[in-house]
Amino acid sequence: MLQALTQFAHAPVDQLQTLHHLQADLIRKFIAPTAGTDSHPVPAFALGSHAEHIRQALGDVALRQLRNLQNVLPAAVKLSQDVGVCYDLFAFQKAFLERLSGLQTQWFEGLESIAQEAGEIRQVNTASKLIAQEYNLYAQFSALLMGQVSAVAELVENAQIDFGYLIAQTTEEN
Amino acid sequence: MSIASSPKAPPLPGFKNVDLSQSSVSGLSSGAFMTVQLHLAHSSTFVGAGVIAGGPFRCAETYRAAAIAEDSAILNAVSICMNPLIPQTAPDPARLARNARACADKGEIDPVSHLANDRVYIFTGSRDTVVNSTVVDTTRRFYEHLGVAADNIRYESGVPAGHSIITTNPEDNPLAANRPPYINQGDFVQSWRILEHIYGPLNPPSERLSGRIIRFDQREFFNGESRASMSDYGYAYVPKAVEEGAPARVHIALHGCKQGYAYVNYVNGRPDLENGLPYGNRYFTTTGYNELADANDLIILYPQAQGTDNGATQNPEGCWDWWGYTSTSAREPDYYSQQAIQIRAIHGMLQRLGTP
């Protein structure tokens, strides 16, 4: 179960890292041709610092995962023999999957709602209104996507903290 | 991005015949977490507290081993104190009670013996998806560990309410909703239950208010420091009889996240100043406190928190501090003691009300 949880926790982290690389490339391409002016210099330092914060946050997620593994492995034999702990871990896994399933439901409902709205775009009189309506759909999808990525990241962090805390309590008791 | 400072408002006035030793406090969500902190920090002043969807004292420091980064407390807050995956990963009330006693021994908060006769109302909606009911249940057990008699605690967990304070107003959200303004319509007025539990039987609420809501300048209470994440103005309801000198008591009502008058929604990381939210004043006008206060000579103090989201202070939703964002030290955050900036400010307001 631990292996499955670990793999599960890693998947969104990998996705976030990929997203980060894409974002960094995009920012570089966008900013590079702009030399800036004396009065409006390109904020290169701020961008570097921003990228560093993202790298650090993702590093923390991975490190926390590693720390959890370090804590649980030495105690694994003891833990596996403790019926109460096994029950807690099973309940933990179940709760995690339930929340993930809830997020998936929200994702599909969101997509369905956008698709429905796309099908209902009425005849419009002006080009500006048409552009606004089309853009709204993209904006809604973007918000939905951001909400999902953020919620999954939050769930992963939640699981990591809870799992670490659960194991810490168990090893303290033993 | 900061929002420009507002013009000065009149200072908070003091009143004759205010018995500060009969004060009480209540709040929703972050206001409920702050209620517990304020109650413990100054338990010699308070006779009771109302906690709607809030967790126990310093629960954000439950699992300090999460401190890979400075954000340990916020991670604890979001996971263990709001949404533990299972009851076993909720805060440990016995341990937190021991911590509270240790704080009292160090003089950071009043001796916990003052809590013994206090009356505490604790509520969790069974449909609350923001602060899980298992957490709120630990708040009840936390108070019991600190010696509050079980008979003095009214614990309600069976109402199918979302994350909200409950009113009977038809304009408010449906009972099970978990969305701003976090004021939901039910079949009772929760503020009345809180005040009646704390103070015993009270006169029926006024149908027409005799008193007035006063706006006062909050800045003097936190020296205008931006890390306080408090608004320029606060509010208080003062019954007419109290203005004329009748004996009075004070109840502090703390709003939750996104409920302060100055709350601004952030869209893609920027404050949406073009679309101010229409509900900023509802917590201090429509939650029912004022009507009951009017008929019972209670002053209701409504301090206001405000969103701040910059490199130093991260509180975009305008929550009260229960995980340390106002603290100058990330490793030893002080958001809970008598010296914590928000607690000091609110306590200062309370003292002012009793000083004519």
Which residue of A154, A157, A162 is in closest CB contact with B84? Answer: A162
Residue B86 has its nearest CB partner, among A64, A88, A168, at: A88
CA distance B65 to chain A (A): 8
Token pair listed for B351? 């003292």
B206 noted as active-site residue: no
Within 10 Å of residue B217's Cβ, how many Cβ atoms? 17
Write out the residue range of the structural domain in which residue B74 sits: 20-353
pLDDT tens digits, one per residue of A57-104: 666 666 666 666 666 666 666 666 677 778 888 898 899 999 999 999
What's the pLDDT score for residue B261?
92
Confidence of residue B210 (pLDDT cuts 50, 70, 90): very high
Instruction: Summarize pLDDT for B227-237 with one digit per residue, the tens.
Output: 999 999 999 99
CA within 13 Å, CB half, B172: 28
Closest partner CB to A91 (pick from B71, B78, B86) = B86
User: Is B334 part of the annotated catalytic residue set?
Assistant: no
Between chains, do B86 and A169 touch, taking CB under 8 Å as contact?
A: no
DSSP β-bridge partners for residue B313: none
User: Is the ipTM, as predicted for this complex, more than 0.95?
Assistant: no
Whether residue B163 lies in the annotated active site: yes
How far, in Å, CA of A44 to CA of A53, rounded?
A: 14
- pLDDT score at B300: 98
pLDDT score recorded for residue B233: 96
**Res A81: pLDDT:** 67
Neighbouring residues of A113: CB distance < 8 A, sequence distance ≥ 6: none
Q: For residue B66, which residues of chain A lie inside 8 Å, CB to CB?
A: 64, 161, 164-165
For chain A, the first-to-last Cα distance in angstroms comes to 21
Identify the band that residue B84 occupies on the pLDDT scale cut at 50, 70 and 90. very high
Residue B12 lies in a domain: no
A147 in contact with B, Cβ within 8 Å: no
Task: Tell me, yes or no, whether B5 lies in a domain.
Answer: no
pLDDT digits (tens, 9 = 90+) for B85-123: 999 999 999 999 999 999 999 999 999 999 999 999 999
Alpha-carbon distance B26 to nearest alpha carbon in chain A (angstroms) = 28
User: Residue B14 has what pLDDT?
Assistant: 97
Report if residue B285 sits inside a domain. yes
The larger pLDDT score, comparing residue B65 to residue B171, is at B171
| Residue with token string 């610092």 | A49
Name the minimum distance, in Å, from the CA of B257 to any CA of chain A.
Answer: 19
Number of domains in chain B: 1
Task: Say whether pLDDT at B12 is over 80.
Answer: yes
Residues 6+ apart with CB under 8 A from B169: B183, B185, B286
What is the pLDDT at residue B64?
Answer: 81
Which residue of chain B is at minimal alpha-carbon distance from A66?
B68
Residue B15 lies in a domain: no
Check A157 against B85: CB less than 8 A apart: no
Residues facing residue B167 across a β-bridge: B185
| Spatial CA neighbour of B36 closest among B116, B111, B122 | B122
- Find which of B79, B83, B265 to mutate to test the A interface (most A CBs within 10 Å of its CB): B79
Interchain proximity B68–A63, CB inside 8 Å: yes
- Is B195 part of the contact surface with chain A (CB cutoff 8 Å)? no
Closest to B148 in 3D by CA, of B119, B111, B122, B105: B119
Strand B119-123 with B46-52, pairing: parallel
Nearest-Cα distance to chain A for B72, in Å, is 9
Asked, for residue B14, whether it belongs to a domain, the answer is: no
pLDDT, position A87 = 84
Q: Is A168 on the interface with B (CB under 8 A)?
A: yes
Catalytic residue among B23, B29, B191, B327: B29
- B2 assigned to some structural domain: no
The neighbour count for residue A79, using CB atoms within 10 Å, is: 20
Q: Is residue B8 part of a domain?
A: no
Chain A residues within an 8 Å CB radius of B76: 161
B267 inside 8 A of chain A by CB? no
Residue B91 neighbours by CB under 8 Å, 6+ apart: B55, B56, B59, B62, B80, B81, B135, B138, B142
Query: Per-residue b/e over B281-316, b at no fewer than 16 CB within 10 Å?
Result: ebbbbbbbbbbbbbbbbbbbbbbbbbbbbeeebebb
Q: Tell me if B11 is assigned to some domain.
A: no
- How do residues B126-176 score in pLDDT, each as one tens digit? 999 999 999 999 999 999 999 999 999 999 999 999 999 999 999 999 999
